[in-house]
Each structure stands twice: as structure tokens, then as C-alpha cells.
């Protein structure tokens, strides 16, 4: 597979954060409300950034994570 399990978990988490942001924006239902102007856009932007990170993150190889320590 192209992506690791962790990449998919981050991708799903990003989509959930975006959905929560849009739901919060809709629930307040005011143009000048605090949540609509400040909280929801930050959540939506954070969700998109998390999706970009999940796609760009390169899975590490198992050989790198299991390096033996040098014996002195």
C-alpha cells in the first residue's frame, strides 16, 4: 500500500475535524457570531492541514526503526 495505517488514521481524523468545523459553523447560524468567525474556520483550516500532512507523511522503513545500537 502507498500509505501506512497511521496515514489513514490521520486522514480520517482530518476529515472528522473538518466536518465538526462545518457543523459548528452551521449550528450557531449567525454571521457575526464568535464561533462562526473564529472557532470554526480555525478547525476547518486545521483539518485541511492535517489531511495535507497525512498525505505527505512518508512511512518509515522497518530497518530504520530497528537499528541496533553500536557496541563499544
What is the residue extent of each domain of the chain?
5-57
- Report the alpha-carbon distance of residue 56 to residue 54 in Å, rounded: 6
Own/partner pairs, 35-41, CB within 8 angstroms, 24+ separation? none
pTM for this predicted structure:
0.77
pLDDT band at 66 (very low <50, low <70, confident <90, very high): low
pLDDT band at 69 (very low <50, low <70, confident <90, very high): low
Q: Quote the pLDDT of residue 62.
A: 60
Amino acid at each position: 500500500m502507498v500509505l501506512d495505517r497511521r496515514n489513514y488514521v490521520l486522514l480520517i481524523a482530518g476529515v472528522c475535524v473538518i466536518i465538526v468545523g462545518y457543523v459548528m459553523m452551521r449550528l450557531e447560524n449567525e454571521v457575526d457570531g464568535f464561533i462562526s468567525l473564529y472557532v470554526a474556520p480555525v478547525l476547518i483550516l486545521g483539518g485541511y492541514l492535517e489531511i495535507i500532512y497525512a498525505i505527505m507523511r512518508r512511512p518509515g522503513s522497518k530497518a530504520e526503526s530497528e537499528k541496533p545500537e553500536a557496541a563499544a
